[in-house]
Amino acid sequence: MNNDKLALIRQFSAKITTHFDVNSLTVYNQFEKIYGDTIDCVLLERYLSLSCTTIFKEDKNSSLVSHINYESKLYVFIFKSKNADAFDGVEPQYIIDELKALVRKLGEVN
């Protein structure tokens, strides 16, 4: 992924963490970290095996995990929150809509 596309992901991360109850965004292309925190290999395999966007809730934290296919590659986006209820209600749909807009923007950058 080139620097222009990485800059778009950074802007996307700043927007998401500002507008939603998201503390961090991590992006992987298969097992290669593109942006954000390093994820445990076992957990990453679990995320890669998902067939749809999924919300994981723990005692005090939650994660929203979604995939996108871009340039014939599978990217995993992991949104983390320190609030167990962060992804209740309509917030996930807004985040997914923003993710779709990011994919369109990535397609416009060479």
The 10s digit of each residue's pLDDT in 4-51 is 889 999 999 999 999 999 999 999 998 999 999 999 999 999 999 999
Residues 6+ apart with CB under 8 A from 91: 20, 21
Would you call 93 helix, strand, or coil by DSSP? helix
Distances (CA, A) of 105 to 8, 23, 37, 71, 108: 8, 23, 23, 13, 5
Domains of the chain (ranges, CATH numbers): 3-108 (3.30.450.30)
Report helix angle 91-108 to 3-19, nearest 10.
Answer: 160
Stated pTM of the model:
0.90
Q: How far apart are CA 8 and CA 97, in angstroms?
A: 16
Q: Residue 12 in contact with residue 102, Cβ under 8 Å? A: yes
Size of the chain in residues: 110
The 10s digit of each residue's pLDDT in 72-107 is 889 999 999 999 888 988 889 999 999 999 999 988
Q: What's the chain's average pLDDT?
A: 91
Using alpha carbons only, how large is the chain's radius of gyration in Å? Answer: 13
